[in-house]
Amino acid sequence: MTRFAAPIAEQIWDMKYRFKAADGTPKDATVEDSWRRIARDLARVEDDAAQWEDRFYTALEDFKYLPAGRITAGAGTARRVTLFNCFVMGTVPDSMSGIFDMLKEAALTMQQGGGIGYDFSTIRPKGADVLGVSADASGPLSFMDVWDAMCRTIMSAGSRRGAMMATMRCDHPDIEDFITAKSDPARLRMFNMSVLVTDDFMEAVKADGSWELTFNDRVYHTVQARDLWNKIMQATYDYAEPGVIFIDRINAANNLSYCETIAATNPCGEQPLPPYGACLLGSINLARLVSDPFGDDSQLDEAALQELVATAVRMMDNVVDVSKFPLEAQAREAQAKRRIGLGVTGLADALLMVGQRYGSDEAAAQTESWLKAIARAAYLASVDLAKEKGAFPLFDADAYLASGTMQQMDDDVRDAIREHGIRNALLTSIAPTGTISLYAGNVSSGIEPVFAYAYTRKVLQKDGSRTEEEVVDYAVQMWRDLKGDAPLPDYFVNAQTLAPSDHVKMQAAAQKWVDSSISKTINCPEDIDFDAFKDVYMQAWDSGCKGCTTYRPNDVTGSVLSVSEDTKADKPVPVDEGGEVVYMSEPLDRPADLEGNTYKVKWPDSEHAIYITINDIVLNGHRRPFEVFINSKNMEHFAWTVALTRMISAVFRRGGDVSFVVEELKAVFDPRGGAWMQGKYIPSILAAIGGVIEQHMIATGFIAGEGMGLKNDPKAQVVGLDAPRGKSCPSCGQYDLRMVEGCMTCASCGHSKCG
């Protein structure tokens, strides 16, 4: 019997979390092997490793505790990867050399798969004097463009994700340019962006007072606070960014306010972190802890919850010791404070199982109660670890207990911390769980409502055929298993039917007992009135939230397809001409025979020519590139031609729109100089190879022309539309992208730039 509750869960495990050799051969034969691998690796720092390995395995078993993807994929593999999800980089110096030192650190961190955050408020505004060079500063936005280009380069080199967060204070002179930066649809695509909003600014907004924009104590402009607030709201209404972070509230509540100042968050906002701060993530699957679901005695098993939380805290604390870090400064910061981010997933499903409507006062109270139970259990477990292993190095009892979060903690927990210390400075966070929620059987994600009760997912098979399968929400499937064809009760609601105020209510209820922050998207209807939209943000402020992120479908952000039980996903129109773009969950097998062409490239001043063979696969009567062979008699070329052959062929066999390979190769410049070929300047021999591949794609009809994109992309053509569609998933091509927890996530394959 399989442990997976749905086919999509097993497919997500196989694609993202299953340990495989470099050639793709599975090393984890079953998901039990994955659990054992993780448990063994995290237990190796314990004195009694065997005992704790078994206890860790029990926590992982049946998806009760879900370590974040970095841990699930990387623990126990002996690969040089970080198990930490979240990083905020060092403070950006206001100097050219310092800025580019920070850029290098960002690239090294992203290369290992870490999502990063930066505060760009420290860079002098556009037009300010640059001493010593008789020039005006270009401003922080120009350097953000450099970061954006770096991120695209890292992604094209094969990094798992390219998520970045950019923040800027509401009193920076360039804040208005920051607010409107995303109005250009081609600019800063690699960034999520948020404004750091202070308490003084919110008071000025409410009082309709003036607001000074300053840098280094110099006032550059004075504006009306309410006008600036309205500009933030209008930009967010029009294109979903920037978000809002209530930065003073974050610092006042921070357990470590006595030894750090926070000015940025990770890409999805659930981890406000100091310079070089890092945090790992994991989630308790509440949907697995409800006894007698949908029955008269349904309830969350709080005894099981407390035991599971205690084990999870110990596992996460061990990650600090077993993980590698991209930078030494990140390792020092993590070990000095031992931050962890334990959260939940499956909240909405658990509420359904106990008969409560997400967004109701009753559900908000229940959420607050469950999150308090988790916080208490986590803090007490960390105290027990401090007794055994010692408190985190920067612990100061009086200062720690005086923080805003700790002042509301129960007296018995405070007394225990004062007497014994605590192992982990911060313990709770609600992270994006889109992919691990699919892996756990399509439970509702994080503290989000159920997005859709069911939807249809198309899966490409190895023979090129497509099959369809229904993906059902975990709680809905359980209802069907228990109740048969009985209609869903009235308390079943989803993200599309909820009022925005219900979203805010649930976020605020959870935030009371989360010491870091929450990744949450407040879905707003497309026709929401602008004043009502602004009220959502003011409600978030008034109810104690640490930030606010909304998503309103429109022509700029794209519409999100909602698929209910009686609505099936629409089918793409077959392509009539040109190369077919195929999206697949795994590479196609190589047929015995392929159609292809061989091309000769004679690079000036080179003794031997290079021969390029490009073979195409034929699917549904259309050719698309499948593999490349690059050969030369010049042995100096041997290593890189073999590497290029393998890499390009691997990209082609993954499917999708592979025309980007051409542009990446054509953009390579040789510092020794290029050459003139057939009346054109070619900047490198790699660019020449890119040009050959491009001409082949044009000849076979895969792309429309030189420097152009696809000749005919089936993603762009659909029939039977009852509602406008958004963009298709760049990984699998399906129209199941949805804004979840602050990041566009594909419900069909789990793809998310945020991980």
The encoded tokens of residue 294 equal: 């949908």
The length of the chain is: 755
Cβ-contact 431, 519 below 8 angstroms: yes
Residue 15, C-beta contacts closer than 8 angstroms, at least 6 positions apart: 585, 586, 749, 750
Burial of 575 (C-beta count, 10 Å sphere; 0-12/13-18/19+): buried
Residue ranges of the alpha helices (H) in 355-469? 361-389, 397-401, 404-407, 411-420, 434-439
Annotation marks residue 524 as catalytic? no
The catalytic residue among 255, 266, 285, 523 is 266
Instruction: Give the residue ranges of the chain where pLDDT is below 70.
Output: 1, 132-134, 155-162, 460-466, 555-589, 605, 620-621, 707-735, 742, 753-755
Specify the DSSP element, H or E, that contains 243.
strand 243-246
Query: What is the pLDDT, as a whole number, of residue 704?
Result: 74
Query: What is the pLDDT, as a whole number, of residue 565?
Result: 38
The encoded tokens of residue 678 equal: 């057939």
For 295-345, what is each residue's pLDDT tens digit? Answer: 999 999 999 999 999 999 999 999 999 999 999 999 999 999 999 999 999
Residue 107, C-beta contacts closer than 8 angstroms, at least 6 positions apart: 150, 154
Annotation marks residue 268 as catalytic? yes
Rounded CA-CA distance 152/415 in Å is 50
Cβ-contact 711, 701 below 8 angstroms: yes
The catalytic residue among 86, 151, 170, 268 is 268
Instruction: Please report where in the chains the tokens 């730039």 appear, as a residue.
Output: 753
Rounded CA-CA distance 616/697 in Å is 10
Q: For residue 531, count other CB atoms closer than 10 A to its CB.
A: 8
Threshold 0.85, pTM exceeds? no
Rounded CA-CA distance 551/629 in Å is 46
The catalytic residue among 270, 448, 627, 741 is 270
Query: What is the pLDDT, as a whole number, of residue 464?
Result: 58
Residue 236, C-beta contacts closer than 8 angstroms, at least 6 positions apart: 242, 243, 244, 533, 537, 550
DSSP E strand boundaries for 446-549: 454-460, 466-472, 522-523, 547-548
Domain layout of the chain by residue ranges? 99-253, 595-714
Query: What is the pLDDT, as a whole number, of residue 310?
Result: 98
Rounded CA-CA distance 5/2 in Å is 8
Annotation marks residue 32 as catalytic? no
Cβ-contact 258, 399 below 8 angstroms: yes
119: helix, coil or strand? strand
The encoded tokens of residue 363 equal: 């559900």
Rounded CA-CA distance 319/649 in Å is 36
The residue type of 522 is I
Question: DSSP code of 120?
Answer: G
Cβ-contact 420, 401 below 8 angstroms: no
